[in-house]
A and B are shown apart, each in its own frame.
Chain A
Amino acid sequence: MSENIITILVVDDDKEIGEAIRTLLSKEGYNVVTAADGMEALDALTQHPIRLILLDVMMPRLDGLSATMKIREKNNIPIIILSAKGEDTDKVLGLSMGADDYITKPFHAQELVARVKSQIRRYMQLGDMGTVKNKSRIVNGRLMLDIEAKSLTVDGEDVKLTPTEYRILELLMENPGTVFSAEKIYEIVWNEPSYAVENTVMVHVRRIREKIEINPREPEYLKVVWGIGYKMERERH
């Protein structure tokens, strides 16, 4: 962690929500600057050493998506979109505009804090490490799997995995985007013929999720492809 106090910009036209987030993040030791719309946000960026932006979408004057595009023209800081629109298509749109994460309203305080922390850690600490090309490491977003050390770090923090969990994760992370059936996973990881293994695999998948996902109920990385199998989501950008 950096010794300097990190400043976060919260942009929301609803003042109460802005204040609530300020309180939440202040408790975590962050300095919070608020803005009521996109234009104010752009102004605030020039006046404060902002390290992360929490951005609402539906706002007067300049909406969140346009603001994201404008900020991205010259700035690389993490942007988390906060929106009441929760459809997959909305999320994809926001992320493709250059946002780093997407939180749907109404959100849980813990989740918001976790996502903010995750983004800051990646930006502050992994920013350089991510660029290091190392064959013994598989990096996917917040996750980094060290094949030699057989260890996993999430947002730079070590996470303890059981050998089985590690092998499942390794298999999936080596082939991001590929869907594996439970039987296939079982045959490869357990090295035994598979029979009625859906429950076994699902239990491990859920345990891994608890360790790597911010909200295990809405996983970003380890996903179930219903009726087919399981897969590791490809890195977004």
Chain B
Amino acid sequence: MKRKTTKTIAWILLAVCVFLAGKTLAGTVEVIESNEIDPECLVISDYIESADLEYGMFSIIGPLNYWQNHTEQKPEFMTEEADFYYYASIGDIAITNAPGMPRSEFQKQKYVYAVDYSKTGEESTPFSTFHNQIGSEAVPDSSLYLSIKEAAMETYQKDWTKDREVLMQELTKMIIYALLGLGIIIYLFVVAGRKHSDEELHLMKVDRIYTEVYLLLIAGSWALAALFLFEISESIYSGFWRALSPEAVTLFLAGFTVVTLFSVMFFIPIVRKIKSNRFFKDCLCFRFVHWCWRVMKNAVLGVKGFFDGSAYKEHLLTKRLFRSQLAYICGSAGLLLFFGLMSAATYSFAPMLLFGFFEILITAWYVMGNRKAYSDINAGYVESLKSQMKSENTKTALITNVSHDLKTPLTSIITYVDLLSKEEDLSETSRDYVNIIAGKAERLKHIVSDLFDLSKSVSGNIPLDLDILDLRKLMEQTLADMKDRIEGSGHALKINLGQEPVNIFSDGKKLYRVFQNIIDNALKYSLSGSRIFIDLKSSGDKVTVAVKNTAGYEMNFTEEEILQRFTRGDESRTGEGSGLGLSIAESFTQSCGGAFLLNIDGDQFKVEVAFPTVEVTGREVE
């Protein structure tokens, strides 16, 4: 079953539980009210210990005490007189409802209370077989005997137990509903933010709302409920409704259910917040307190730092700004103090007006001074940018000129070496030397040419011939073009370019150089006999070509180092190559709008070139 369905069912069950709990509550109240049950019976099982009995006894002792003080009035009892015997005396007068029962007989009863201060009395201290703290007034020369009939007590206890059972039943029902409801709420809290498919915590848009909003909503719904209840009770008091009229009960049930459900609903985002540790982050109060604390910390703990201008000492302009700021603060504070004292001394506002005037003056001075400093800073910034660009350009021009000037003598060298090698009367050794010179001159030519390309590309002076092209086809063409070199290298290439064309907007000739350099690099520096992997993967609006190979030597350099110009894998710098291959590949890729990523992991060397793909509409290549 999907979790969503489960959740819905849980909500329905919760509503039912809340409704039933509310209904049981209303039912219990009705039972109590209509049967005049004392809810005390729920707590105290023995009637003899109950406050109800205590109250009943007071209703007998009270009138008797009253009679002892005012003998003219005979006591009237609220309790049935048939249920008890009493004997009370003051001086010589005595009243009793059991004339044939001597005082000593009272003492033998099971339920008895006796206090006798009379001269003839046998007891002087109160005597009670009840557990309750029943007491009567200590009227001098008086006696008071009270005994509850055993049969009456038994009836009381029976009724008490019956009431208790009835209430217990209702209460148990209520507790069961409440526990069920609570269980469902706990379930809802546990699954909040979880999906069946994974273990992740999923936050919703509503979870971005501040914590306080939810707390207020919950408090609000309860306040509303309280108001509602108050209105109902008002109506009952004013006699508009009978306390447990069906209308009142229905309203109560509806209100109770809705408010409970809403509270749970509003609490669920809070639960998600707590789960994702966002409770305090989303709490406005907490944020405010945090902010205040930070400001206070800076202000109080960092007074020294606040007025510490050492960081600005280095630069004349910022130093000046900082000084004028300090002067402004001190000036303002001094002025405020001076004129504040003045106005306090003279009991008038005139000095404060003067303060305002001077304050405007120093603010104007402060702002004017700063404006000049700011414009100077701006000018300096622009100047530094300009000089930086100029130095960039100079550097590029230098490299361009140097590589250009290198070519002229190189032309002579190559041409004369060529002429020399065609001389017929050369000795064997001389011919070897000439061949070496020819080879080195050729390499020098490549380096100069690569350096030239790189410097142009790095300085952004490279002319681009951008067009929509198929990267997969470009890779095929490049690999076909390099076929001889690949086959001669002894490395097996694992090529996976996919089937679909992948269109990008780029410069094909430059990209050919990029991949040629990358593959060349892999062929050159791979462990002999190892495989080279070339993968083209397109995902979404991005296409990535990855070339992976296993190095034939230990790569004790970082990704950054190998991309440095003239860095080569083998530090002895033997073999062919200019050391600029990867630098050129990186620079060209970036010029063409791609991303160049290099990864070294142990012996694994991986180059990734990524381009954004483009949609092609209505373009056909014949």
Q: A residues touching B (Cβ–Cβ < 8 Å)?
A: 14, 16-17, 20-21, 23-24, 27, 84-89, 105-109, 175, 178-182, 184, 198-199, 201-203, 206, 224-229
Which B residues are in CB contact (< 8 Å) with A24?
415, 418-419
B588 to chain A minimum Cβ distance, whole angstroms, is 12
Identify B477's interface contact among A106, A179, A180, A198, CB under 8 A. A198
Q: How far is the CA of A201 from the CA of B621 in the complex (A)?
A: 16
Q: B residues touching A (Cβ–Cβ < 8 Å)?
A: 404, 407-408, 410-416, 418-419, 422, 441, 445, 449, 452, 463, 467, 469-471, 473-474, 476-481, 483, 504, 506, 508-509, 511-512, 621-622
Which A residues are in CB contact (< 8 Å) with B408?
14, 17, 84, 105
Most chain A beta carbons < 10 A, residue from B408, B441, B479: B408
- Taking a contact as CB atoms under 8 Å apart, the answer to whether B411 and A105 are in contact is yes
| A106 touching B473 in the complex, CB below 8 Å, given contacts A184-B621, A198-B480 | no
| A23 touching B419 in the complex, CB below 8 Å, given contacts A17-B411, A106-B445, A227-B508 | yes
Can you offer 9 A-B residue contacts whose CB atoms are under 8 A? A17-B412, A84-B408, A86-B449, A88-B463, A109-B418, A224-B481, A227-B469, A227-B511, A229-B473
| A227 touching B416 in the complex, CB below 8 Å, given contacts A178-B622, A202-B481 | no
Most chain B beta carbons < 10 A, residue from A105, A178, A227: A227
B466 to chain A minimum Cβ distance, whole angstroms, is 11
- Taking a contact as CB atoms under 8 Å apart, the answer to whether A228 and B473 are in contact is yes
Which B residues are in CB contact (< 8 Å) with A180?
621-622
- Taking a contact as CB atoms under 8 Å apart, the answer to whether A226 and B480 are in contact is no
| A227 touching B470 in the complex, CB below 8 Å, given contacts A181-B621, A203-B483 | yes
Identify B622's interface contact among A16, A184, A198, CB under 8 A. A184
Identify B415's interface contact among A21, A202, A206, CB under 8 A. A21
| A105 touching B471 in the complex, CB below 8 Å, given contacts A20-B419, A226-B508, A226-B512 | no
Q: How far is the CA of A146 from the CA of B479 in the complex (A)?
A: 33
- Taking a contact as CB atoms under 8 Å apart, the answer to whether A226 and B511 are in contact is yes
Q: How far is the CA of A88 from the CA of B463 in the complex (A)?
A: 9
Which A residues are in CB contact (< 8 Å) with B452?
86
| A87 touching B407 in the complex, CB below 8 Å, given contacts A109-B418, A180-B622, A226-B511 | no
Which A residues are in CB contact (< 8 Å) with B463?
87-89
B444 to chain A minimum Cβ distance, whole angstroms, is 9
- Taking a contact as CB atoms under 8 Å apart, the answer to whether A106 and B483 are in contact is no
Among residues of B, the one whose C-beta sits closest to the C-beta of A16 is B412
| A106 touching B410 in the complex, CB below 8 Å, given contacts A179-B622, A202-B483 | yes
- Taking a contact as CB atoms under 8 Å apart, the answer to whether A199 and B483 are in contact is yes
- Taking a contact as CB atoms under 8 Å apart, the answer to whether B483 and A20 are in contact is no
- Taking a contact as CB atoms under 8 Å apart, the answer to whether B474 and A108 are in contact is no
- Taking a contact as CB atoms under 8 Å apart, the answer to whether A228 and B415 are in contact is no
Q: How far is the CA of A182 from the CA of B481 in the complex (A)?
A: 13
Can you add 14 more A-B contacts, CB < 8 Å, to A20-B416, A226-B509, A229-B473?
A17-B412, A105-B407, A105-B410, A106-B407, A109-B414, A180-B621, A181-B621, A181-B622, A198-B473, A199-B476, A199-B483, A226-B511, A227-B467, A227-B471
Which B residues are in CB contact (< 8 Å) with A184?
621-622
Which B residues are in CB contact (< 8 Å) with A179?
621-622
A69 to chain B minimum Cβ distance, whole angstroms, is 23
Which B residues are in CB contact (< 8 Å) with A203?
480, 483
Which A residues are in CB contact (< 8 Å) with B506?
227
Which B residues are in CB contact (< 8 Å) with A84?
404, 407-408, 411
- Taking a contact as CB atoms under 8 Å apart, the answer to whether A224 and B419 are in contact is no
- Taking a contact as CB atoms under 8 Å apart, the answer to whether B477 and A202 are in contact is yes
Which A residues are in CB contact (< 8 Å) with B413?
106
Which A residues are in CB contact (< 8 Å) with B412?
14, 16-17, 20
- Taking a contact as CB atoms under 8 Å apart, the answer to whether A227 and B419 are in contact is no
- Taking a contact as CB atoms under 8 Å apart, the answer to whether A228 and B481 are in contact is no
Q: How far is the CA of A114 from the CA of B222 in the complex (A)?
A: 99
- Taking a contact as CB atoms under 8 Å apart, the answer to whether B418 and A202 are in contact is no
Which B residues are in CB contact (< 8 Å) with A202?
477, 480-481, 483
A10 to chain B minimum Cβ distance, whole angstroms, is 12
Which B residues are in CB contact (< 8 Å) with A108?
414, 418
Q: How far is the CA of A9 from the CA of B474 in the complex (A)?
A: 43
- Taking a contact as CB atoms under 8 Å apart, the answer to whether A107 and B411 are in contact is yes
- Taking a contact as CB atoms under 8 Å apart, the answer to whether A224 and B477 are in contact is yes
Q: How far is the CA of A148 from the CA of B129 in the complex (A)?
A: 142
Among residues of A, the one whose C-beta sits closest to the C-beta of B483 is A199
Which B residues are in CB contact (< 8 Å) with A23?
419
Which B residues are in CB contact (< 8 Å) with A224?
477, 481, 512
- Taking a contact as CB atoms under 8 Å apart, the answer to whether A228 and B508 are in contact is yes
Identify A227's interface contact among B407, B441, B449, B477, CB under 8 A. B477
Q: How far is the CA of A24 from the CA of B445 in the complex (A)?
A: 20
Q: How far is the CA of A226 from the CA of B474 in the complex (A)?
A: 5
- Taking a contact as CB atoms under 8 Å apart, the answer to whether B469 and A226 are in contact is yes
A87 to chain B minimum Cβ distance, whole angstroms, is 7
- Taking a contact as CB atoms under 8 Å apart, the answer to whether A227 and B473 are in contact is yes
Which A residues are in CB contact (< 8 Å) with B480?
198-199, 201-203
Which A residues are in CB contact (< 8 Å) with B478?
226
- Taking a contact as CB atoms under 8 Å apart, the answer to whether B483 and A181 are in contact is no
Identify A228's interface contact among B404, B414, B441, B469, CB under 8 A. B469
Q: How far is the CA of A21 from the CA of B418 in the complex (A)?
A: 11
- Taking a contact as CB atoms under 8 Å apart, the answer to whether B473 and A181 are in contact is yes
Q: How far is the CA of A27 from the CA of B473 in the complex (A)?
A: 45
Which B residues are in CB contact (< 8 Å) with A20?
412, 415-416, 419
Identify B621's interface contact among A14, A17, A109, A229, CB under 8 A. A229
A90 to chain B minimum Cβ distance, whole angstroms, is 11
Which A residues are in CB contact (< 8 Å) with B504?
227
A57 to chain B minimum Cβ distance, whole angstroms, is 11
Q: How far is the CA of A20 from the CA of B409 in the complex (A)?
A: 12
Which A residues are in CB contact (< 8 Å) with B479?
198-199
Among residues of B, the one whose C-beta sits closest to the C-beta of A178 is B622
- Taking a contact as CB atoms under 8 Å apart, the answer to whether A228 and B483 are in contact is no
Q: How far is the CA of A1 from the CA of B404 in the complex (A)?
A: 38
B497 to chain A minimum Cβ distance, whole angstroms, is 10
Which B residues are in CB contact (< 8 Å) with A107?
411, 414-415
A181 to chain B minimum Cβ distance, whole angstroms, is 5
Q: How far is the CA of A86 from the CA of B96 in the complex (A)?
A: 139
Which B residues are in CB contact (< 8 Å) with A206?
481
Q: How far is the CA of A107 from the CA of B508 in the complex (A)?
A: 25
Q: How far is the CA of A118 from the CA of B413 in the complex (A)?
A: 25
| A106 touching B419 in the complex, CB below 8 Å, given contacts A202-B480, A226-B474, A227-B474 | no
Q: How far is the CA of A203 from the CA of B274 in the complex (A)?
A: 67
Q: How far is the CA of A21 from the CA of B414 in the complex (A)?
A: 12
Q: How far is the CA of A141 from the CA of B163 in the complex (A)?
A: 120
